[in-house]
Chains A and B, each alone.
Chain A
Amino acid sequence: MSEVAIVGFGCSGFKPITPELSYKELMFETAVKAYEDAGINPRKDVDVFITCAEDYLEGFSIFDEFVPDQLGAVLRHLFTVSGDGMLGLATAYMLIRTGHFDTIVLEAHSKASDILTYIDIVAFGLDPVYNRPLGGHPYYIAGMEMNRYLHDTCTTTEQCAQVVVKNKRNGILNPYAAYGANVTLDQVLCSETCFYPLKKLEISTPADGCIVMVLASEKIAESLSDKPIWVKGVGWCTETPSLETREWTKAVYTRMAAEMAYKQAKINNPWMEIDFAEIHDQFAYKELQHMEALKLCDYGEAGKLLEDGLTNLNGEFPVNPSGGLLGMGYGLEASGTQKLLEVVLQLRGEAGRRQIPNAEVGLAHTWRGIPTATGVVAVLSNVKR
């Protein structure tokens, strides 16, 4: 079966607002960059276009019908995955592995600033009978999860707050990051409690942006790029939507997704065999919880690793060198591609001032946010074999 590589990318944003461009124009701008990077003509060279979008976040029904023009996909072969960009990566990976497709374009974006009732849209994802009538801001789910996670693992609120300090600091070094900042532990801990025990600064702020990636089969990847980044494995998993019965401590969806990806990538000891990770951190504690689910350490140990500086940019195993979603901004369904983008930049050696020396294998992880229990994991490398 063919190996699969990312051979080009484009990114616009991420920014708090983008009133100057329509979502179509934002996608066009980004696609142009990606096609230039990969040296392809989208009108001739692309077998399949995959966009990732959720109708309710866009405000259009059947949003997939609105995307061909700005991607160069008119009268070409296109479909939309209603989910995170990394579910699109998984789809692209499978298509290329069939041997029937050589070049695939993957797109995901966020026009969060166009949504006037974002919280209501999130709440619309709750069960209409059991949960929605209770009212309240749906992020209380993150508060409940954090509470149980802290209770079960002895992770401290200080350790969770330290995630914010680290990620926002990394974000300063990332030109694609909307919210890089130097914040202190005290500032995070003293920010108002929004969803006990979750603090205001521990919640990532939505941002606008777009990412387009070009994927290619083994047959043509090396002719398109000097630095193809090989997808070594992809896994995904969804737990039950039922808040009443799901597991609240261990992010089991991520554990199962990771096991699927690691099996394909032949990873036995992730901490030793992977050099860095981009992990979904929409809420600060999620970085720690997901690290454990990703088998980077035992349950309850992530906080300590962070506290000891091992996941800092210059640490033994950097986590979220991009600044994460706390630093970059929460890109809705583009979150997964934000993660992929940083892994690609690091593995190409193009991460500028936040470059991790000699990085060879990187991990990208995403979660579909509140109230989902869906995760996707990918292992990538700049070494083919």
Chain B
Amino acid sequence: MSEKIKRYLGEEVKAEEIKEGKIPIEKFKPKAKYAWSAGIAISKFLEELKKGRIIASTCNKCGRIMVPPRIYCELCFKPTDGWTYVKDTGTINTFSASYLAADATRLKEPIIVAIIDLDGASEGMGIIHKIGEVEDWKQLKIGMKVEAVWKPPEEREGAITDIKYFKPVKEAATL
């Protein structure tokens, strides 16, 4: 082990003992529950999602239209000046196909996740969401136009999942 410590008291562990689960372990499942106050900006965002709209906040100093909205401009470090709606269409900034589920099991069909720069928001701002209605995700390209597919109004609950996913804009193909 080292110059000064040759061995500890106790028995050497053998590989088969580990395999057979004979090494003592302690299991514990934490009970950790939280209910975060959404606050001004997130509350507004979620309320608007429920109505089928995406709202942004604006900063008059730097001129940015910011999604997701916030009550402060983090670059100018001042309160934001107003609210404005942005479109539910945008451009794929980047995407990936996730072949693993949250528990690391293999998925047959990958989940396509994308950063979408929303039309009407400042450059490089928008939403992260799933991409749906694509037959072969390998046809997706960075820069592709996409549009939101909303849940029906009665199913919306004021959550990011009120948008089911974004899908490629069809008209682009016919042009």
Q: Which residues of A does B touch, CB under 8 Å?
A: 18-25, 28, 35, 41-43, 56, 59, 68-70, 72, 74, 111, 113-117, 120-121, 124, 128-129, 132
Interface bits B121-150 vs A (CB < 8 Å: 1, else 0): 000000000000000000000000000000
Q: A20 and B37: CB pair below 8 A?
A: yes
Known: A128-B28, A129-B26. A74 touches B40 (CB 8 A): no
The answer to whether the Cβ of B74 comes within 8 Å of any Cβ in the partner chain is: yes
Taken together as a complex, chains A and B put the C-alpha atoms of A257 and B90 apart, in Å, by: 57
Verify B32–A114 contact, CB threshold 8 A: no
CA distance A56 to B32 in the complex (A): 8
The answer to whether A132 touches B28 (Cβ under 8 A) is yes
Q: Nearest-CB distance from B31 to chain A (Å)?
A: 4
Q: How far is the CB of A12 from chain B (nearest CB, A)?
A: 13
Residues of chain A with a CB closer than 8 A to B33's CB: 115-117, 120
A-contact bits for B12-34, CB 8 A (1 contact / 0 none): 00000000000000101011111
A41 to B77, CA, bound (A): 8
Interface magnitude class on chain B = 20 to 34
The answer to whether A114 and B37 have CB atoms under 8 Å apart is yes
B40 touches A121 (CB 8 A): no
Please tell me if B111 contacts chain A, counting CB pairs below 8 Å: no
The complex places the Cα of A69 from the Cα of B28 at a distance, in Å, of 35
**Complex contact B71–A28 (CB within 8 A):** yes
B90 to chain A, nearest CB (A): 22
In the A-B complex, the 8 residue pairs with the closest CB atoms: A22-B39, A59-B34, A69-B74, A72-B77, A116-B33, A120-B31, A117-B33, A25-B39
Chain B: residues with CB nearer than 8 A to chain A? 26, 28, 30-42, 70-72, 74-77
Complex: A366 Cα to B175 Cα, angstroms: 68
Please tell me if the beta carbons of B72 and A117 are within 8 angstroms of each other in the complex.
no
Determine whether the beta carbon of A68 is less than 8 Å from that of B32: no
Q: Which of B26, B35, B72, B75 has the most CB of A within 10 A?
A: B72
B56 to chain A, nearest CB (A): 15
Which chain B positions have C-beta within 8 A of A21?
37, 39-40
Q: Determine if B32 and A124 form an interchain contact, defined as CB atoms under 8 angstroms apart.
A: yes
* A residues in contact with B34, CB < 8 Å: 59, 114-116
Q: How far is the CA of A56 from the CA of B74 in the complex (A)?
A: 26
Q: Which residue of B lies closest to A42 (CB)?
A: B77
Contact of A22 among B26, B30, B42 (CB under 8 A): B42
Known: A128-B28, A132-B28. A18 touches B37 (CB 8 A): yes
Please determine whether A23 and B74 come into contact, CB atoms closer than 8 angstroms: no
Does A28 contact B32, Cβ atoms closer than 8 Å? no
Which chain A residue lies CB-closest to B31?
A: A120
- Residues on A with C-beta less than 8 A from B71 are 25, 28
Q: How far is the CB of A75 from chain B (nearest CB, A)?
A: 9
Check A20 against B32 for contact (C-beta < 8 Å).
no
Asked if B35 contacts A25 (CB within 8 A), the reply is: no
- Chain A residue at smallest Cβ distance from B75: A74
Which of A35, A70, A116, A132 contacts B74, CB < 8 Å?
A70
Asked whether A43 lies within 8 Å of B77 as measured between CB atoms, the reply is: yes
Which residue of chain B has its CB nearest to the CB of A44? B77
Give the residue name and chain of the B residue nearest to A43 (CB): B77
Q: Which of B28, B31, B32 has the most CB of A within 10 A?
A: B32
Task: Name the distance in Å between A28's Cβ and chain B's nearest Cβ.
Answer: 5
Q: In the complex the two chains form, is B36's CB within 8 Å of A25's CB?
A: no
Q: Which residue of chain B has its CB nearest to the CB of A31?
A: B77
**Docked-complex contact A114 and B74, CB < 8 angstroms:** no
Contacts of A23 in B (CB 8 A): 36-37, 39
A24-B39 contact in complex given A117-B33, A132-B28, C-beta closer than 8 Å: yes
Tell me the nearest residue of chain A to B78, going by C-beta: A32
Given contacts A43-B75, A116-B33, 7 further A-B contacts (CB under 8 A): A20-B39, A22-B37, A22-B42, A23-B39, A43-B77, A120-B33, A132-B28
